[in-house]
Amino acid sequence: MQLYSWNVNGLRACLEKGFCDFLQQEAPDVLCLQETKMLPEQWEGQADGYRIYWNSAEKKGYAGTAVFTRREPLQVQYDMNGLDKSREGRCIALEFPGFWLVTVYSPNSQRELVRLPFRMEWEDLLRGYLMELDRKKPVVLCGDLNVAHRPIDLKNPKTNRGNAGYSDEERGKFSELLACGFLDSFRTLYPEKTDAYSWWSYKFQSRQKNVGWRIDYFLLSERLRPLLQDSRIHSGIPGSDHCPVSLVLADS
């Protein structure tokens, strides 16, 4: 089973940059999107063979998630099954026979970490929700988690320490989640791979110079480890300031 995740930073803009060609060429079983910034009725693309599930933010042109799937889920839950009251469209969960797939767009703590308290509360809600799902069946979590976990996961860790996405608090919440029985699929397979990033600033030719951050992930319950075949970062695919990441799981 091939799963993809991509922060498209505006799906309508990404449509004009080849999104439908990407979908046709890569043909994932499931594609999870973050930062869609649109309502379902604004979708004008082609997605033959896919069911689409939307969770749009109440605020127009902001945040939002979506899932395109060839496989019909057993059920779908939104906003951590109602735990997330932010109305920012940050979470969709699909139950499949072998696991739960949860995609999230984690809140950005913003400059001077002004939104860090909200982010910390949201992280605790998410962790509790994932653990509750995990008691029923294994979980795959994907999305833009808005944190680089380790120094290897961003180009300039020393100068960015304490900034949004690389604060001790955000990194600590990521560590807490791993300690609850989850694996970072990419680092499980490629523990020492450097210069592997999924987001680049639009400034200073950052992408061309590969001055980036790895903030897009696939995490999975430890008991899914035997099914893990690959975890990739598709840095050559344009269309957003993020690139897609993917996970290949053997069918159980």
Residues classed as catalytic: 105, 144
Q: Are the beta carbons of 237 and 24 closer than 8 angstroms? A: no
Contacts of residue 33, defined as CB under 8 A and 6 or more positions apart, other chains included, come to: 5, 6, 7, 8, 11, 65, 66, 67, 68, 103
Beta strands in the chain (DSSP E): 2-7, 30-34, 51-55, 65-69, 75-78, 91-95, 100-105, 139-144, 182-184, 199-200, 212-213, 216-221, 228-233, 245-249
By three-state DSSP, how is residue 219 classified?
strand
Q: Are the beta carbons of 141 and 5 closer than 8 angstroms? A: no
Q: What is the DSSP letter of 112?
A: G
